[in-house]
Structure 1
Amino acid sequence: MSRLDESPTASNVAEYSVSEISGALKRTVEDAFGHVRVRGEVSGYRGPHSSGHAYFCLKDDRARIDAVIWRTSFARLAFKPEEGLEVIATGKLTTYPGSSKYQIVIETIEPAGAGALMALLNERKRKLEAEGLFLPERKQRLPYLPRVIGIVTSPTGAVIRDIHHRIADRFPVRLIVWPVRVQGETSGDEVARGIEGFNALEPDGAIPRPDLIIVARGGGSLEDLWGFNDEAVVRAAAASTIPLISAVGHETDWTLIDHAADRRAPTPTGAAEIAVPVRAELLANLAGLHARQAGAISRRLEQERKSVAATARALPSPDMLLALPRRRLDEATTALGQCLRVAISEKRRHYGDVASRLSPSRLDSLVRDKRADLRHHETRAGHALQTRLHGMRQRFERTAAGLQPYRIAVASEAARLRLDTLGERLSVAQAQATEVRRQRIAAAWRMADSLNPLRVLERGYAIIRGDDDQPIIRAAGLTPGMAFTVQFAGNERRPAVATGDGDRDAGPATATVSVTAPAKPGPRRRAAKKLAEGQGSLF
């Protein structure tokens, strides 16, 4: 180990170069751990490298160590490592100075049982599969040309750039990214919320609802991809009403979301290729279909044109088609003339026979015979009519003579019934009229009783009457020394005299009313008596 020159101001602590420190650590680790047996779970295994060496990790629940198997040792292994398998590896510990890491160089390897993570993964897979979340009939058909694609991934990784570039090259559509963590303890919950969030969007909302969802992440070890094995993520993918593509890891990576998704893509780039077709290919296909359609139409038209021409050649000419009808027309014309001549001759002969029977003498003879027949029938009809009328008159007289007493009796009974009916109706009408008048009189009496001034006296009022028994309604009607009567309720009257000073010409004067000793009520005057008698006569 070379010693560096010390500067005049440095301490007496020795200085080492990075290579010296790395070499010293390498020798110390190799000397202290010559041969070791390490038990752990294989993680991150992707098979041998192109150089023939195999690189992976061994881990347990608290730590991990890098491992390497050189090409010569790998070829002699009886058992090859597998992802997630718990193994016992024998080898040497050493360091890798280029990255300051320590690793185990494995010489032999043997299985020690399935790893804890793989056992948990398999148990979870069996549980969800038993619930029917992985059934093929649950898979939805992917849209052929989605207008909006939702992507659940990290917004800063290379995955979103690869998907964006691939879709832009193939068929540009609108992309909406739901940013999530794709690794760590909260990655599972965030991915599940991203899937549910896209499903909760309204079709006509401010943020358009995606026609397709892509859940994407780059490659990694089993523990790196463990968030996509979360039960919440699997259930969200299975419950998604929007078709979903799982693009987690590389082609050899499998997670539980791959089983629940409607389609699995080997890589995120592959998901972009599955999501949209190639626009140029579509245009080329459309152009090819258009050309094929135009060619098919042309060929069909040509075939139809040839068919029409062949059919036209097989058809007879117009002269041939009209030859037979023309001949029939000519024959019908000739026969028609002959028939007309025969018909005219027959009609002329018939008319001659009729004319011979219509001579004037024969007509006069027929008229005389008809007149005689009419006179004979007239005589017979008159005689039969007189006989019929005489017989009917006699029969009517006999019938009338027999029905005369019955008619009188019937008429009398009918008149009696009518009189009884009218009498009953008259009685009812009289009773109704009497009741109506009684009600009207009662109503008038109630009105008159309500207007009776004596009713007012019962409410604490009094009536002042003069010598002529007329009410005095104003103070001007009283003069000092004037005698008058005060009428109270119950027709009780008391004599009184007006006292005080006053001048009738100057206007009403105040007067003091002095009620004297009670006097017996005198007899009612004739007017009141007549009124009472008149009121009583209403009942």
Structure 2
Amino acid sequence: MSQEPVSNVPEWSVSELSGALRRTLEDAYGHVRVRAELGKVTVHGSGHVYLDLKDDKSCLAGVIWRGAASKIRFRPEMGMEVIATGKITTFPGQSKYQLIIDTLEPAGVGALLAQIEERKRRLAAEGLFDDARKQLLPYLPAVIGVVTSPTGAVIRDILHRLADRFPRHVIVWPVRVQGDTCAAEVTAAIRGFNALPEEGPIPRPDLLIVARGGGSIEDLWGFNDEAVVRAAADSHIPLISAVGHETDWTLIDYAADRRAPTPTGAAEMAVPVRSDLLLAAADLGRRVLAALHRHLDRRKADLRSAARALPGPEDLLALPRQRLDLSGGKLVHALAANSRKHDARLAETARRLARLSPQARLAGMRAKLDGLGLRLAAAQGANLRAERQRILHQRERLAALARRGDNAAASLVARRRERLERIGERPRRAMAAALDGGRQALERRAQLLVSYDYKQVLRRGYALVHGPDGHLVREAAQVAGGMALEIQFADGSVKAVAGDAGRARPRAKPAPVQQGSLFGG
């Protein structure tokens, strides 16, 4: 009997070994600070962030729980150099170790600037910063939409400057101007203003101002977000960017239609100075009135000069009056000459009409008609004589043809009658032969049908037994005692009741079958 080998090495379960490794790792590396480049970054639907920390040789898995992720002031992206602070632990479910990150910060301002430059080059290549996309600002917008924090000094400066220059209707869309949700809120505000209907309950702005005070690059990071830049570039409402101080540049400044150095400068760009406009309008009014007076004076002088150059009424009518007198003198002679000319033309027309009068034309037509009547009578007599000769000739030909046709027709009729009699005899003979053959076949089938009729068998002394359900009983084993039966003979049927089944009965002298028991007793 074999014996199992004995070992003094302790046995661990998988969970026990995983727990021991986890405690060892956490005790040795309780709190670490790691400088690395971000690899794959995944934001889970639960709010947790899963990422890879790597250098040129190794890769370390990292996790940022939702509470810590909400405190990060920038969005982690692949390729960003960061400093992660947290503790090393294990994940037994996959047999790997990972860094639970408490804080995550860029590895210096240089890394953020490099990321901004890379994003700027990529968006510029798409054409989002082209001057051709930029819109002109309205000269005097009726409604101005402001995207900023409602509690800061920025909105007060904008409202105060607008009130000084030209009071306008202002709609404020409150947003956070720094922090993790800044970019999403600013994007939603720009797109929300653009989505307002023209004639809706909330007036649609004619101009947008995105404003924030100064700060560090981390504070202004939300305005470098790609979503904010795309929203500013897609805005159909002209947009002024006023983020930070004059030296602070963010990516929204390149996508906006205009960049203001400060929020106050944005208000100055948005509207003109009302008092300056009033003074300019008054000055233009005075200039227009003076120009109108000068124009009227020039027109009056031109009218007086033209009136002096015009001739008097007598001078204007003298020449037409002279032409009228000359024409009146020539009119008498012209009328007489015209009358003579028309008389001559009328006489010529009368002579032509006399030749074409209806009486003359009627006389000519009557003479022509008389001649045609004589010719018609002669032609009719000649035609009548010719037609009479032709009819006599045709009559003689028809008489000769009739004599020849009588003999030929009689012979043809005799031949056709004889042939018809021969043809009529053949169907009668064929029909008689067919009927005789059919009759013989029918008689043979009738004899065969009679031989197959079961009643012929019954007439020879056999009978059919039917059970209570009407089915034919073929074996004695199918009959039980007391079963109602029906026995069919050649000349009719009788009812019967079966006696005890299976008992042998002595053969007796046949007796007439009566309705009742089949086997007697």
Q: TM-score, normalised by structure 2?
A: 0.46
Q: TM-score, normalised by structure 1?
A: 0.45
